[in-house]
Amino acid sequence: MITSLLASAAPATFHWSPKCAMIMILCNVLAYAIARANIAKPNEGFEIPNSKFFGGMSHASVVAANCLGHILGIGSILGLAARGIL
């Protein structure tokens, strides 16, 4: 009985598409803008190769921006999929 209740409560799944990829990319770009504006010392620490492509941010800043971007992205994708937009 409990398994049937859990199965009926599962949200509708979605298939990965170019729309999902674009949403994830946009969320990561937004996260880089947020990180660049809010990190006090973005250049401090281990420098990544070709850091000019990442706004001159250090390794830790890039990892933090990517983590935030993926959190925003999966939240956006799941929210849009639940509303039926994706």
Contact between 57 and 36 (Cβ < 8 Å): yes
What is the chain's mean pLDDT, rounded?
A: 80
Asked whether residue 8 is domain-assigned, the answer is no
Q: Structure pTM?
A: 0.74
The per-residue pLDDT for 6 is 57
In a domain, 10, yes or no: no
Q: What pLDDT score was predicted for residue 51? A: 64
pLDDT score of 11: 60
Predicted confidence at residue 7, as pLDDT, reads 59
Please check whether residue 3 lies inside any domain of the structure: no
Q: Encode pLDDT of 32-68 as tens digits.
A: 889 888 877 777 776 777 767 767 777 788 888 899 9
Residue 9 lies in a domain: no
The candidate with the shortest Cα–Cα distance to 11, out of 82, 85, 86, is: 82
Percentage helix, strand, coil, to 5, in the chain? 65, 0, 30
Count of the separate structural domains present in the chain: 1
